[in-house]
Structure 1
């Protein structure tokens, strides 16, 4: 009447099975790849490059995007005309009047178009408008 504690042909294996871990990691990777584009709250625009960039962290900004064809979006909601844009901006600023507006304008737009959108945001009650840029890499 002996007790087998391992070591023999039918004993306990001391190897780590990593297959379940790899399966879980791959599923998480797929989930993040699917969910991340949906979490983006603005339209995808090509931002201009700048050398001297300052970064401020004053809470979550209200994102205003302008595409190359001059379509305006607040967060991910399309604003077909100026009154709709100003109404949406007022709605976004109503609870927090000091909320920052982050303007993401495509780099192909001329300065006049960007300035016009900034003035529309100011007329809607924005205290200030920050312009989003991509920091250029120095050679």
Structure 2
């Protein structure tokens, strides 16, 4: 195993076997590479850039993510809603369950202001007090 017995030629081996360590590290790397893209919440949309410098605001709680894709489909977290009534009913239930929870709207930059305003009015009709808009930080090009 790690020692040679007998004769005077061997003794104890003092070499470190790093092969198992490298195998474990590579497996962990692959796992992290596969899991990391799945950690994004909401739908992938191209966010518009911010025109103001970075202002870090601490959000007290984890917001509920609303998404509107470029084809005008509505999502709450990862759940798609075909019509506005079902979307608004889902928002109402979420607001009743946690009245102080914030809403974060991720709308694709190709949408018009009217499209975004329609989603904000649906949220207001569901009882939301405030809706935050997601944008890309000033100076960044990719969406989060």
Q: Could you state the TM-score of these two structures normalised by the residue count of structure 2? A: 0.82
Equivalent position of 1:134 in the other structure? 136
Name structure 1 gaps, 5 residues minimum. Answer: none
**Aligned equivalent of 1:108, options 95, 107, 110:** 110
Q: How many pairs were matched up?
A: 132
Equivalent position of 2:17 in the other structure? 17
| 2: CA distance, partners of 1:9 / 1:61 | 68
Equivalent position of 1:58 in the other structure? 60
Q: What do you get for the CA RMSD once the two structures are aligned?
A: 1.9
User: CA shift at 1:10, angstroms?
Assistant: 2.1
Q: 1:93 to 1:15 in 2, by over 3 A?
A: farther
Q: Which SS does the other structure have where 1:94 is aligned? A: helix
User: CA shift at 1:125, angstroms?
Assistant: 1.2
Q: Could you state the TM-score of these two structures normalised by the residue count of structure 1? A: 0.85
| 2: CA distance, partners of 1:94 / 1:14 | 66
| 2: CA distance, partners of 1:127 / 1:21 | 53
Name structure 2 gaps, 5 residues minimum. Answer: none
